[in-house]
Amino acid sequence: MPVLIKPEPFDPIAMQAAHEATLPTGSFGATASFIGTMRNVNEGDDVIGMMLEHYEGMTEKELEAVIHDAKQKWPIDDALIVHRVGAIEPGQPIVLTVVWSAHRAAAFDACRFLMEALKSRAPFWKKETLKDGSHRWVERNTPGY
């Protein structure tokens, strides 16, 4: 159940496929995945770039704890979290969460749980660069439910 922090752009779909290839064929029936991608607009303003900061060590630990908690709550076969850090451009993926399970209810619930728990617990911070060259810290996340 890997957790990966990526300082360079990553292809979430390729990573999902590569991890899935390590699982036994026919063992899981449901795969729920979520990809967060950087938009070129936030709160009505044009955004041209973003710096994503994290707390090395604690971030990985929290992401692993999030997966651990999901495993306690749902019968899941495997899970994957990938999160980008560093300088990000609009259109680039920021985060990937994937859950493989026998049935869809657990896959959907656990995948969404990973995202919400990650957003409330894992220390990441976004600083946006606007079109006029100014910078601002993102102060809160949008609601997840």
Partner 1 sequence: MVDPKSDMHMTIRVKFFASLREQIINPNTEVDGSQAKTIGDVWKLATDVPMPPHVLCSVNLEHQEPDAPVNDGDEVAFFPPITGG
Single-letter amino acid, residue 78: D
Per residue, the 3-state secondary structure of 69-80, as one string, reads HHHHHCCEEEEE
Does residue 115 interact with a copy of itself by CB under 8 A?
yes
Does residue 71 interact with partner 1 by CB under 8 A?
no
Q: Is 144 helix (H, G, I), strand (E, B) or coil?
A: coil
Q: Quick one: which segment of 7-15, 16-24, 72-80, 122-130 binds partner 1 (CB under 8 A)? A: 122-130
CB of 56 to a copy of itself, least distance (A): 25
Does residue 54 interact with partner 1 by CB under 8 A?
yes
> Which residues have CB under 8 Å from 59's CB, separation 6+?
5, 83, 122, 123, 124
- What are the start-end ranges of the H helices in 1-57? 12-20
Q: Quick one: which segment of 11-19, 20-28, 52-60, 105-113 binds partner 1 (CB under 8 A)? A: 52-60
Q: How many residues bind a copy of itself (CB under 8 A)?
A: 35
Q: Which does 126 bind (CB under 5 to 8 A by kind): partner 1, a copy of itself, none?
A: partner 1
Does residue 38 interact with partner 1 by CB under 8 A?
no
Alpha-carbon separation of residue 62 from 50, 74, 124, 132 (angstroms): 22, 18, 11, 35
Q: Which does 122 bind (CB under 5 to 8 A by kind): partner 1, a copy of itself, none?
A: partner 1
Helices (H) and strands (E) in the chain, counts: 3, 9
Binding site for a copy of itself (CB under 8 A): 13, 16-17, 25-41, 90-91, 102-105, 107-108, 111-112, 115, 142-145
